[in-house]
Amino acid sequence: MTIPRVEMKNVRKRFGDNEVIKNINLKVDDNEVVVLIGPSGAGKSTVLRMINGLETTTSGEILIDGDDIAHAGKSINQMREKIGMVFQHFNLFPNMSVLDNITLAPVELGIRNKADAVTQAKQFLEVVGLTDKADAMPASLSGGQKQRVAIARALAMHPEIMLFDEPTSALDPEMVGDVLGVMRRLAKQGMTMVIVTHEMGFAREVADRVVFFADGELLEQGTPTDIFDHPQHPRLQQFLKQVLNV
Amino acid sequence: MKRKWLWSTLVAGFVALMVGFVPQPTQAATESYTIGTDVTFPPFEFANKQNQYVGIDIDLMNAIAKQQGFKVTIKPLGFNAAVQALEAGQIDGVIAGMSITPERQEKFAMSDPYYQSGTVMAVAKDAKIKGLSGLRGKRVAVKTGTASADYANAQKKKYGFSVVTFDDSNNMYQDVMTGNSAACFEDKPVMQYGIASGMKLKIVGKTTMKSDYGIAIKRSESATLLKKVNAGLKALKANGQYDKIVRKYLGNGSEAAQKKKTAGTSETDRSFMGLLKSNWGTLMSGLQQTLWLTILGILCATIVGVLVGLLGVVPNKFAQGAATTFIYIFRGLPMMVLALFIYSGVPSLINEKIPAFVAGIITLTLNEGAYTAAFVKGGIAAVNPGQMEAARSLGLPWGKAMRRVILPQGIKIMVPSFINQFIITLKDTSILSVLGLLELTQTGKIIIARNMEGFKIWSMIALIYLIIITLLTWLSNWVQKRVNAA
Ligand SMILES: Nc1ncnc2c1ncn2[C@@H]1O[C@H](COP(=O)(O)OP(=O)(O)OP(=O)(O)O)[C@@H](O)[C@H]1O
Ligand SMILES: [Mg+2]
């Protein structure tokens, strides 16, 4: 079999004396959609950020296609090129237009010339349904539009893995559908994705596997049916009761 | 390709600094000496109506140089600055109505005496004080580092007065005329000349502390310059030229003769416009010097400040420590201390003269650069950290992310601070007058020392500063608009 896209081996993370990730082992296979769920402070964002090296690891290995990103040194930039990340607060670059947001990295890194990058950026804008916003400045967009631009920006690097950290939590409810729609299509096309979300319906629908975290520990994982219909761990049962009854 | 940008900026910064350190070329053919003098110490040195330096010291020094066949440049640095510059080896000698004292003989090579003076006490014209005994409980003005000051300090216990020191004679006279101080102590010829020029003071009591004036020469020039000066003095005294020079300024000592002398040095039209017109050229050359200092200062300080500021945000403990230390030291030091340290402290260490202008630019670069670095660092830190994370997550290296994403946003935050710093730099150039640089403030001091029109001249100077600051503000606001539009 092929090696997993992402493999976390005995990963620990400490902030000062506070151990927030406790010996985690997690694999993500090619084309797999993995959804991370868990209460606030469980360490979901930290795990996601460690996968593309935004957060250092205290111990353990994080292999991306077999290479350890936790000890990558300078080659971390090349490794990141194939890992797209979408943030809760979009983090679009406010000093440049939507088009420039999308073309910046491919052009700066010499992957594409400017003309190609622009053509391609327009294609990705079409994918996220924002063809008419190419020349807009980020400040003039709604939250849902911003998040879709952020997805297009990540896609422009042709990533092999996409990480989403609560991409819809900062959005008004009527915007959530558009963003989830884009993600759903990506999943269908076979993109390898790791998603942190509180949208349980969406998780059940797109996930190949759901992983439950609490207090920095991976407590349970399985298919959506396993997790949502037959939860084993008391913490998971309690968590689901809370989020589904709201 | 992208690296080049950073390097060229770095190199430009270093070149700017190094050019400043290149020592001035020295003439080889005829010996050339730099002699420091006081800003105003009439009749020994003062600026005449055309703002040329004249006086017994100036004429005598030029005559000696001519007689002995060497070149001399006389720099009105102010008494203390001149003495400090001589100690630091920045200049070769000082002629400034300087009494020959054992301390000075120890420090410098003193020439043969060229004028006998003594200390007198002067009070306001309408004052009732008759002598030292009338000073109990009063304040007395003296000029720093003079023999008269030593005398006053020696007497203050016995006669129960306090002493306040001034850097030049005119401020001291003013203090007595306004009644802040009851009396001042001054060398006799100077006092006589001052009173004859219209100072509302009178001499009371006897002449004490008779002393001889000599020219102070750098110790290392004992065998050369000192010999020439003494030989020149002797020759001038013998051929009558010396007497001619002294008579030119002090006449036969009668009041009528004094009046005639001073007429040549004082302005005729004393209205604001009249004074502005007669001093226009001098003011403009002072302004020019101020502008040069400001422009070069801003340029160097901005380059250094931006580099140090960036160093402060590089993810490297060493770099950050270096930047923090730089900011801590040069923002912490008062600018005047820094200026004097660079101008007269450093040269005695490295055994290399630093011209006053260069010392001024280095001072501005370090001081204003530290402030600039602090707000550059702060401006970058104020950019949402999510921006750097988003840029890095796309695979952009730190430098590219900084340049394309963080800096453009940070600069917008910094623009108002930059404008503020430019204006502060312009104002701070006035502090560099302590180095004797003939910038606007020093120019003002000199003009006022001559014509005593403090209110009008300082008004002019203030107005000029305000006009330039207004222009600078307009320019900056225009730039700010363009940055924000971009
Ligand atoms: N930079 C940091 N310094 C110190 N502690 C941190 C830092 N980042 C996260 N933590 C701590 O690590 C723990 C896990 O945080 P994390 O953000 O990964 O949780 P999460 O599961 O994403 O929660 P949420 O659902 O609220 O986003 C928390 O206790 C948090 O306070
Ligand atoms: Mg989180």
Reply yes or no on whether the pLDDT at B251 is more than 80: no
* Residue B46 scores a pLDDT above 60: yes
The pLDDT of A31-42, averaged and rounded, is 95
The reply to whether B2 falls in a domain is: no
CATH number of the domain encompassing residue B453: 1.10.3720.10
Query: pLDDT for A134-150, tens place per residue?
Result: 999 999 999 999 999 99
Residues of B in contact with A104 (CB under 8 A): 394, 396, 404-405
Percent of chain B with pLDDT over 90: 43
Q: How far apart are CA A196 and CA A38, in angstroms?
A: 9
Residues in chain A: 246
Residues in chain A closer than 8 A to B391 (CB atoms)? 93, 105
| Ligand 1 center from residue A41 Cα (angstroms) | 5
Each residue of B328-373: pLDDT tens digit? 999 999 999 999 899 888 887 887 778 889 999 999 999 999 999 9
- E-assigned strand segments in B308-356: none
* Structure tokens, A47: 């795990």
CA distance A156 to chain B (A): 9
Q: Exposure of B388 by Cβ count < 10 A (0-12 exposed, 13-18 middle, 19+ buried)?
A: buried
Considering only CA atoms, which of B363, B289, B303 is closest in space to residue B16?
Answer: B303
> CB within 6 Å of ligand 1 — which residues?
A 15, 20, 38, 40-46
Cβ contact (<8 Å) for A77 and B396? Answer: yes
What's the domain range around B472? 274-485
Question: Is B393's Cβ below 8 Å from some Cβ in A?
Answer: yes
Report if residue B421 sits inside a domain. Answer: yes
Distance from the alpha carbon of residue A44 to the mean position of ligand 1, in angstroms: 8
pLDDT of residue B193: 77
Closest CA to B449 of B47, B36, B44: B47
For the entire predicted model, the pTM comes to 0.72
Residue A39 backbone phi and psi in degrees, to 5: -65, 165
Highest mean pLDDT among A31-40, A168-177, B172-181, B348-357: A31-40
CA distance B262 to B269: 15
Residue at B88 is within a domain: no
Q: Is the dihedral of CA B115, B116, B118, B123 positive or negative?
A: negative
B62 assigned to some structural domain: no
The stretch A13-36 carries a mean pLDDT of: 94
Q: Whose Cα sits closest to atom 5 in ligand 1?
A: A15
The set of residues, in sequence order, having a beta carbon less than 8 Å from that of B305 and lying 6+ positions away, is B368, B369, B370, B371, B372, B373, B376
Domain ranges of chain A: 6-92+159-244
The CA distance from A38 to A211, in Å, is 8
**Which of A77, A108, A154 is opposite residue B404, by nearest beta carbon?**
A108
pLDDT exceeds cutoff 70 at B22: no
pLDDT band at B450 (very low <50, low <70, confident <90, very high): low
Question: Are the beta carbons of B10 and B70 closer than 8 angstroms?
Answer: no
Residue B225 lies in a domain: no
Q: What does the pLDDT average to over A37-47?
A: 94
Contact criterion met (CB below 8 Å) for B401 and B451: no
Q: Decide if pLDDT at B267 tops 70.
A: no
Cβ contacts (< 8 Å) between B394 and chain A: which residues?
A: 80-81, 84, 104-105, 153-154, 157
- Give me chain B's average pLDDT, please: 85
Cβ–Cβ < 8 Å for B240, B234: no
Residue B300 has pLDDT above 60, yes or no: yes
Residue B134 has pLDDT above 80, yes or no: yes
Each residue of A162-172: pLDDT tens digit? 999 999 998 88
Please check the confidence at residue B481 and state whether its pLDDT lies above 70: yes
Cβ-contact B392, B398 below 8 angstroms: yes
How far B390 CA lies from chain A's nearest CA (Å)?
6
Check residues A2 and A226 and name the one with the higher pLDDT. Answer: A226
Q: Which residue of A has its CA nearest to B410?
A: A95
Residues of B with Cβ-Cβ distance to A52 under 8 angstroms: 393
Please state the domain count of chain B.
1
Distance CA B160, CA B133 (A): 9
Q: In this predicted structure, what is the pLDDT of residue A236?
A: 95
Q: Say which CATH class A6-92+159-244 falls into.
A: alpha beta
Q: Do B395 and A78 touch (CB under 8 A)?
A: yes
Residue B414 lies in a domain: yes
Tell me whether residue B477 is in a domain. yes
Distance CA B19, CA B27 (A): 19
Which region, left, alpha or beta, applies to residue A158 given φ > 0 means left and ψ of -120 to 50 means alpha?
Answer: left
